[in-house]
Amino acid sequence: MKSEGFFGQPIWFILTIWLLSRALILLAMLGVAPLLAAPSGGIQAEFGWDVFSAWDSNFYQQIAHKNYDGLGSFPGANVAFFPLFPLIIGLFIRLGFPAAVAGTLINNSAFLVTLFILYHWVKRTNGHQCARWAILVLAWCPLSLFATVVYTEGLFLCLSTASLSAFDRQSYLQAAIWGALATATRITGLALIPAFLLTAWRSKAPIIAYLSSLGSAVGVLIYSSYCWIQFNDPLAFITVQHTQWNRSQGLDWQGWQTMLLEITTGKSQWNYQQIQDLGHPFLFLVICAISYGLWCYRRHLGAGFDYSLWFLIFLLWLMIGDPLLNTVSVWGGFYLIWHLRHRLSFVIVVYGFSALGLLLASGGTISLNRLAYGIISLSLALGVLLSDYPRWGYATIGFFGLLLVSFSIRFAQHLWVA
């Protein structure tokens, strides 16, 4: 029996999905990782709150404690991280919470709220079944690890989803408020502005819709003003990514070429001039050929086609790893949204394309799968697609669960995840 409540959706389904997925992460990070020896390049994980802090987490906690770095008019590397999340952490610190505890609680709580907002929204636009699958995708995606640790994924997803949902139901003031907070959390929040403007133009919305579009930029404008005053550079958060992180200008053609070569010829065998080992490209071609054959005879194979193809995808992931996930997240995301464009709200389609375009223009290929996860259009679209193909859905969630455990252990050991 389903229990209806908050926003009119089955509370217990959403809570259960959230609790089970977060429990799997906690089990991997606090139960399994401390039992394992320190890996090469990593550390021995220890039971405690510190497992939730690594990589970018340190920047957010540093900002919360000491504000932004800078030497005279030259900004430090942490200026690339937007202020809302560390500001909230700072408020919790003043209440007596350690930074790691505060960041973890904020991120997890915001992620739970995101699931409620998303369910209510998708149920209204695409129906109950699509809403359930969208929740499953968002919660079980392996990158949802970053909605549990001290990162901004949970908070940004919450604010951007609330803003898009409000605009879609024509609550323009709410859309502007949530949008302003989203653009104060992450630079991809800027994608809300063209999404709102184009949707308002297409639907011939009143002037307040256009004003809410511009109002959503308030967050980034305030931060830009701070950078202008503090570092004499209103775009310091972009400048440091090129001067200190060595990002290129515009689309990183070399980075994408490298990933394509790693996918097709192997990550360790290619020295950028010649192939060292024919084993990887041969196996890659065999998997592609078998996949094509399965696709041609899919009507005769029934369920065997679905699970056989997913097994081949699993083999590809074992062979290639992160380059495959990065590529599929971005370019597969473009295709997925385009393929389902007639079944999704127009604002979701434009936001998805705009946010993915921002990622491509960022001048790098590192962490693109994690940043793409923060674009709610992708999880929503994949949920709609899997609702039509439940067998693919079950295989997808199983694969996600396996990766979620792997990513959680790696993060606890301070190994690079995304």
What's the confidence (pLDDT) of residue 70?
66
Q: Is the pLDDT of residue 272 over 90?
A: no
Residue 284 lies in a domain: no
Q: Is the pLDDT of residue 2 over 70?
A: no
What's the confidence (pLDDT) of residue 161?
97
Residue 251 lies in a domain: no
Chain-centroid distance, C-alpha 257:
23
Q: How far apart are CA 48 and CA 386, in angstroms?
A: 37
Residue 50 lies in a domain: yes
Task: List, in sequence order, every residue forming a beta bridge with 74; answer none if it has no partner.
Answer: 71
Residue 130 lies in a domain: yes
- pTM of the model as a whole: 0.91
Phi-psi region of 250 (alpha: psi -120 to 50; beta: other; left: phi over 0): left
Tell me the per-residue pLDDT of 202-237, one tens digit each, with 9 for 90 and over. Answer: 999 999 999 999 999 999 999 999 999 888 889 888
What's the confidence (pLDDT) of residue 7?
41
What's the confidence (pLDDT) of residue 4?
47
Number of domains, the chain: 1
Residue 195 lies in a domain: yes
Residue 26: give the domain boundaries: 6-235+379-412
Tell me the per-residue pLDDT of 36-71, one tens digit each, with 9 for 90 and over. Answer: 999 988 899 999 999 999 999 999 999 998 888 765
Mean predicted confidence (pLDDT) in 5-21 = 78
Question: What is the average pLDDT score of the chain?
Answer: 88
Q: Which residues of 251-290 are buried (b: 16+ CB within 10 A; e: fewer)?
A: ebeebbebbebbbbbbbebbeeeeeeeeebbeebeebeee
Residue 398 lies in a domain: yes
Dihedral angle, C-alpha 360, 361, 365, 367, nearest 10 °: -80
Q: Which residue has the higher pLDDT, 365 or 34?
A: 34
Tell me the per-residue pLDDT of 135-184, one tens digit each, with 9 for 90 and over. Answer: 999 999 999 999 999 999 999 999 999 999 999 999 999 999 999 999 99
pLDDT band at 72 (very low <50, low <70, confident <90, very high): low
pLDDT band at 1 (very low <50, low <70, confident <90, very high): very low
| Residue 194, both tokens | 């063209």
Q: Is the pLDDT of residue 9 over 70?
A: no
Phi–psi pair at 74, nearest 5 degrees:
-105, 115
Considering only CA atoms, which of 164, 176, 204 is closest in space to residue 375? 164
Instruction: Report helix, strand or coil for 262.
Output: helix
Mean predicted confidence (pLDDT) in 106-128 = 96
Separate counts of helices (H) and strands (E) for the chain: 21, 2
Residue 198 lies in a domain: yes
Q: Are 412 and 28 in contact (CB under 8 A)?
A: yes
- How many Cα atoms occupy the beta-carbon half-sphere of 58 within 13 Å? 5
What's the confidence (pLDDT) of residue 279?
76
Residue 334 lies in a domain: no
What's the confidence (pLDDT) of residue 269?
53
What's the confidence (pLDDT) of residue 41?
87
